[in-house]
Amino acid sequence: MLNSKNGVAALSVALNVFLTLLKLGVGIAIGSVSVISEAVHSGIDLVAAVMALIAVRTSSRPPDEKHHYGHGKVESLAGAAEGALIFLAALLIINEAIQKLLHGAELESVDAGIYVMAVSTVGNLVLARLVMKVARDTDSQALEADGWHHATDVLTSLGVALGLGVVWLTGHSELDPLVAIGVALFICKAAYDITLRSAGDLLDSSLPEDEQARILKVLDSHIQSVQDLVEYHQVRTRKSGAERHVDLHLVMKRNATVQQSHDLCDHLEDHLQEALGPVSLNIHVEPCEADCAQCGPSCPPDDRAV
């Protein structure tokens, strides 16, 4: 179950519930704005984890009458929404930290805050590794965003624990809200990266350069090995959830049969799926020009009326 998208998404929800309640309780008890900021962070991550759970369940549904291309974009939408939520959390943290700097605050107990940050660090480290592994295996953007949430939680929890340790050693409580502001700025960077990746898929950006290179490598290999294939052009790519979409034009010799063209398209689809994973391939086949140098006398022009 923990190797499935639904399993790790549900585990993420459960951990965020536990950490949010734990950090909030300890933060209020000791009066630490940095610990409370981490509770807010975990609370936003909880909302994001619930969204990721809904997204991975929805995106796995097959195409229907209203969604002919499936539901993969739900994951991209969830990733963009999660990025917006993280920005909101950062603003709340910065506002609370500024108020503490202006009006001052004393920490009642630093030890409890350090302990809860240690628990948060270990829990998020284990879950981040698990979620990111499943995200890579299933190519899930919603889980990738959730995994980055837990990865940032590891670093921010360590930062808060370090800040509390300095407060404990020096007695300067004003360091606590300063650490909280640093945490918030780090969260903003993570939110920006998540939102940028998700928005790219929503706007049908091309596949990454390395994946496009793999597509061209497959096509070039067929140019060299398939006698009836003359060239290809107008290659377009995009992504929806875990599925890649590739559109292209194939130029075939004029004497190639429909069956030969069809077999080549099936062959290309198999090879692209081996190179990329799930691929939806849309191919427009067209005949070569009458004066095609590659064909020569073996491929006479078709003079029949169209």
For the chain, the domains span 5-202, 209-298
Q: How many Å apart are CA 109 and CA 244, to the nearest integer?
A: 53
CATH number of this structure's domain 209-298? 3.30.70.1350
Architecture of domain 5-202: Up-down Bundle (1.20)
What is the DSSP secondary-structure string of 74-133?
Answer: HHHHHHHHHHHHHHHHHHHHHHHHHHHHHH----S-SHHHHHHHHHHHHHHHHHHHHHHH
Q: Letter for the amino acid at 6?
A: N
Torsion of CA 194, 196, 197, 199, to 10 degrees: 110
Positive or negative: CA dihedral 195, 201, 205, 208: positive
Token duo for residue 271: 């090879």
Q: Would you give per-residue pLDDT tens digits along the chain (306 residues)?
A: 556 777 787 888 888 888 888 888 888 887 777 677 778 777 877 877 787 778 777 776 777 777 766 667 777 777 777 778 778 777 777 776 777 677 665 555 667 778 888 888 888 888 888 888 888 777 776 777 777 777 777 777 777 777 777 777 776 766 767 777 777 787 787 778 778 877 777 777 788 888 889 999 988 888 877 777 888 899 998 877 667 889 999 898 888 888 988 888 888 888 888 888 778 888 999 888 766 666 655 555 544 333
